[in-house]
A and B are shown apart, each in its own frame.
Chain A
Amino acid sequence: MLLLAFALAVTILFVVLRVLGNPVFALISVGATDAEIAAAAARLGVDRPIPVQFAEYVGQLLSFDLGQSFTNRLPVGEEILRRLNVTLPLTLISFALSVLIAVPVGFFAAWKARTWYGTAFSAAAQLGGAIPVFWVGILLVSVLSLGWRLFPAGGFPRTDWEEPGAALYALTLPVLTIALVAGSDLARYVRSATLDILGQQYLRAARATGQSFGTALRRHGVRNGVVPLISILAIQLSTTFVGAVIIERVFALPGLGDMLLVGIKEQDFPSVQGVLLFSTALVLLLGFAADIAQRIIDPRLRDSLSGNRRTKALA
């Protein structure tokens, strides 16, 4: 199933790119003759029929070779790994921070749902999720960087992670931007999952047996509430990863998103294919991992292919 989805992605991407664009024009300039344009096309191999190019590409993929960039012949796989130095920490730290924000906020909003401050929290979460992420980024740059000179306006140190302090310092504002928006979004899901649990009979039953609210929640509530949340978290992680594209442009970070955007502008098919296939694989794997995690946590899901716990009666 996974392989089929992946194969479909590869094919569609390959064909669409070649039909819509021409990488030669990124290399030539005004003054180039027809002969030069033809020579450039021949060197890139894009003048061959599409099935031939596709066969070669699939062959490369099967040996885990993502090919070379059309514009500078750097191996795409290595370039992706290099860019991950920036994008992976950015994604993971933002994600962790967004969960740290979302869980208390969402829980609190649900727990105190009928009070004015609980509603305020809920409203704040709604607002946070509605604001475009690049606007938050620009705002943070404007106030914290240009205004108060607390953080750099962008860029990633050339010394990479050899100086972790400098790298983390450069990632502070981008992480904050993503975490604020993604966290608000996630908080709404946490709130609705919590409301769901709080209203359940089994919690009341647990309280009736003498457990405190906290213990009942911990032993029974969390495990039930977390199952749908895991799907959301997996999607959120993939979205954060791919959505880092805009953030990387605002903060001039040389990550995977930047590689994608520049690749599109330069019609560098191997780079664009490499990044998108990587993201596709990541999303598929995360979804798969989420499915497995759900089945571990909720035994009722283990017997069916796609569990819907409401259809299965408790034994």
Chain B
Amino acid sequence: MTSRRLSRLLTAAAAAAAGALVLAGCAAGTSAPGASASADPAAEIVVGSQNEPTNLDQIFGGSSGVTEVFTGNVYEGLFRITDDAEVEPLLAAETEVSDDGLVYTFTLQDATFHSGKALTADDVKYSLERFIGEDSIAARKNQLSVIDSVDVVDEQTVEVTLSQPSISFTYNLGYVWIVNSDAGDLTTTADGTGPYALADYRKGDSITLEVNADYWGEAPANGGVVYQYYADPTALNNALLTNAVDLVTSQSNPDSLAEFEAAGFQIIEGTSTTKELLAFNDRIAPFDSVEVRKAVYSAIDRQKLLDAIWDGRGELIGSMVPPSEPWYLDLADNNPYDPALSEQLLTEAGYADGFTFTLDTPDSGVHSTVAEFVKSELAKVGVTVEINIITDDEWYQKVYTDTDFQATLQGHVNDRDINFYGNPDFYWGYDNADVQTWLKESEAAATVEEQAELIKKANQQISDDAASVWLYLNPQLRIAADGVTGVPQNGLNSLFYVYDIAKA
């Protein structure tokens, strides 16, 4: 045949072959079952976060970032705090408490450290003593100061003796890591019993966790986790949009939420324990007067502030206790927004012409925006606010250590921190003998119900006294790509368990 005919034949053949392939592809596509619907157990999850730990050791000031990565994932405690703020046994398989509440006997789980060594009572003793020791600057060290001694009974049994009964003891133990007593310096390495082991630590960039094949408990739902850190929130958002990360642990800016929703991402909203406070220096005039404090409280439209900052998310609270805690009371209207009441209280207190005070404002986060709002609200009742912007460092020196301030703004992230109001030396200097007694007695309570009853009384009192202005409770906003499941919903003080996270 001629070359032209041949070429035409070949072209036709090629076209037919291509067509057949396309049809085959379509058929294959439709006949295959929904493979994307089931999760891939070997998938690596990339978590985007702004909360990089300063170092990897919780007793050396690793900051809240270290809890987010390690607690429950790499290191385990004797107990675990769940997403609903419940206490569950973890490495303490069995617990026995003596009748006087002073001696706790823990029988340990069979577990091994990532280095291969078996978990023994010696490791528990080492870990607890390390946490409360002289060198430790762990964030929750003081809550475990009730520990008098830790004794090894046998390989699998530990006995802890307290100096006084402490009903929150098992809860507080949920934050203490059980580390390998042979491990040495843990600021850049890790050796725990958890479902993940530390694979790589790049300061300023990422922390990589790999699955622990010898884990004593249930295997995780994924094949490993990488925490990728971003200093700039825009860079973090861009990373999520371009799928460089699978989820973001905490979204601090509600404006970008609409963009994520439109692009098909999941917005996971839970409760946090981060409270925005206008803290008074209760020791000095004019804030040593309850009427003045209540007047300032009632002058601020907190709902409007919350809407402006969080666009309808988050919650209003009337005291230091968020709804996730057992002694929560709905006190949001205890000091209601009422400018007329505010002016009346100011007159009663002797400040009919108002007064001026300086508001020391840290320059991080939303505090400066909140300060401007507070200033404009208080101006309406005749109180003049002078905003003094300071760095976080200066805040620690001037406000926290030297207590040289009149009022300040700060975000408090700890859970169960109503105890700060039972300490008259705490930076805001609230000194109420009843509150101190109730809080102290609550620790010695025999049951959780009794504990809750006592703390509720303290809760009511600090609200009645307007010890501080609790402006609002931050929401916990996490954003995840479509197909990612098992993301913890609530943010209790930066806890973030990654072992249930799965993606298609």
Interface window among A20-28, A111-119, A184-192, A194-202? A20-28
Contact B205 A158 (CB under 8 A): yes
Q: Can you identify 19 A-B contacts, CB atoms within 8 angstroms?
A: A26-B54, A28-B61, A31-B139, A31-B142, A36-B137, A37-B401, A39-B134, A39-B137, A40-B61, A72-B54, A72-B55, A72-B188, A72-B203, A82-B202, A83-B204, A149-B242, A153-B239, A158-B200, A158-B226
When A and B form their complex, which 10 residue pairs have the shortest distance between CB atoms, in order from nearest? A27-B61, A72-B55, A153-B238, A254-B205, A25-B396, A71-B54, A254-B204, A252-B235, A29-B139, A153-B242
Give the distance in Å from the alpha carbon of A98 to the alpha carbon of B188 in the complex. Answer: 39
Contact A155 B54 (CB under 8 A): no
Does A43 sit within 8 A of B, measured CB to CB?
A: yes
Does B230 sit within 8 A of A, measured CB to CB?
A: yes
Contact B235 A154 (CB under 8 A): yes
Known A-B contacts A146-B238, A158-B200; the reply to A25 vs B392 at CB < 8 A is yes
Chain A 45-76 interface 0/1 with B at a Cβ cutoff of 8 Å (1 = within): 00000000000000000000000000111100
Give the distance in Å from the alpha carbon of A152 to the alpha carbon of B139 in the complex. Answer: 37
B135–chain A nearest beta-carbon distance, Å: 7
Contact A33 B393 (CB under 8 A): no
B103–chain A nearest beta-carbon distance, Å: 27
B433–chain A nearest beta-carbon distance, Å: 21
Does B187 sit within 8 A of A, measured CB to CB?
A: yes
For A39, the chain B residues whose CB sits under 8 A away are 134-135, 137
Interface set, chain B 189-228, CB cutoff 8 A to A: 200, 202-206, 208, 226, 228
Size category, B interface: 35 or more
- Which of B64, B401, B410 is packed against the most chain A CB atoms within 10 Å? B401
Does B56 sit within 8 A of A, measured CB to CB?
A: yes
For A258, the chain B residues whose CB sits under 8 A away are 204, 231
Contact A26 B61 (CB under 8 A): yes
Contact A153 B241 (CB under 8 A): yes
Contact B396 A28 (CB under 8 A): yes
Contact A145 B142 (CB under 8 A): no
A46–chain B nearest beta-carbon distance, Å: 13
Does A259 sit within 8 A of B, measured CB to CB?
A: yes
Give the distance in Å from the alpha carbon of A154 to the alpha carbon of B241 in the complex. Answer: 11
Residue of A nearest to B202 (CB): A254
Give the distance in Å from the alpha carbon of A74 to the alpha carbon of B189 in the complex. Answer: 11
Q: What does DSSP make chain A's interface, helix, strand, loop or mixed?
A: loop
**Chain B residues close to A by CB (< 8 Å):** 52, 54-56, 60-61, 63-64, 134-135, 137, 139-142, 185, 187-188, 200, 202-206, 208, 226, 228, 230-232, 234-236, 238-239, 241-242, 244, 392-393, 396-397, 400-401, 410, 412, 414, 417, 420
Give the distance in Å from the alpha carbon of A29 to the alpha carbon of B413 in the complex. Answer: 10
For A149, the chain B residues whose CB sits under 8 A away are 242
A83–chain B nearest beta-carbon distance, Å: 7
Give the distance in Å from the alpha carbon of A37 to the alpha carbon of B396 in the complex. Answer: 11
For A26, the chain B residues whose CB sits under 8 A away are 54, 61, 63, 393
Known: A71-B61, A158-B205. 6 other contacts (CB 8 A): A37-B401, A153-B241, A154-B239, A252-B235, A258-B204, A266-B54
For A73, the chain B residues whose CB sits under 8 A away are 55, 185, 187-188
Partner of A21, one of B187, B393, B401, B420: B393
For B236, the chain A residues whose CB sits under 8 A away are 252
A-B contact count (CB 8 A): 123
B91–chain A nearest beta-carbon distance, Å: 25
Known A-B contacts A36-B137, A153-B235; the reply to A262 vs B187 at CB < 8 A is no
For A29, the chain B residues whose CB sits under 8 A away are 61, 63-64, 139
Does A251 sit within 8 A of B, measured CB to CB?
A: yes
Chain A 152-184 interface 0/1 with B at a Cβ cutoff of 8 Å (1 = within): 111110100000000000000000000000000
For A27, the chain B residues whose CB sits under 8 A away are 54, 60-61, 63, 137
Does A94 sit within 8 A of B, measured CB to CB?
A: no
Residue of B nearest to A40 (CB): B137
A180–chain B nearest beta-carbon distance, Å: 20
Interface set, chain A 1-41, CB cutoff 8 A to B: 21-22, 25-34, 36-37, 39-40
Give the distance in Å from the alpha carbon of A34 to the alpha carbon of B393 in the complex. Answer: 15
- Which of A28, A29, A33, A149 is packed against the most chain B CB atoms within 10 Å? A29
Does A291 sit within 8 A of B, measured CB to CB?
A: no
For B231, the chain A residues whose CB sits under 8 A away are 249, 252, 258, 261-262
Give the distance in Å from the alpha carbon of A73 to the alpha carbon of B137 in the complex. Answer: 15
Known A-B contacts A27-B54, A27-B60, A249-B235; the reply to A146 vs B242 at CB < 8 A is yes
Contact B228 A155 (CB under 8 A): yes
A21–chain B nearest beta-carbon distance, Å: 6
Give the distance in Å from the alpha carbon of A174 to the alpha carbon of B235 in the complex. Answer: 13
Give the distance in Å from the alpha carbon of A33 to the alpha carbon of B239 in the complex. Answer: 39
Known A-B contacts A25-B393, A26-B61; the reply to A154 vs B208 at CB < 8 A is no
A140–chain B nearest beta-carbon distance, Å: 12
For A234, the chain B residues whose CB sits under 8 A away are none
For B64, the chain A residues whose CB sits under 8 A away are 29
Contact A252 B54 (CB under 8 A): no
Known A-B contacts A40-B61, A72-B56, A155-B239; the reply to A32 vs B137 at CB < 8 A is yes
For B392, the chain A residues whose CB sits under 8 A away are 25
For A155, the chain B residues whose CB sits under 8 A away are 228, 239, 244
Contact B242 A28 (CB under 8 A): no
For B397, the chain A residues whose CB sits under 8 A away are 22, 25
Known A-B contacts A30-B414, A39-B134; the reply to A156 vs B205 at CB < 8 A is yes
Give the distance in Å from the alpha carbon of A29 to the alpha carbon of B204 in the complex. Answer: 21
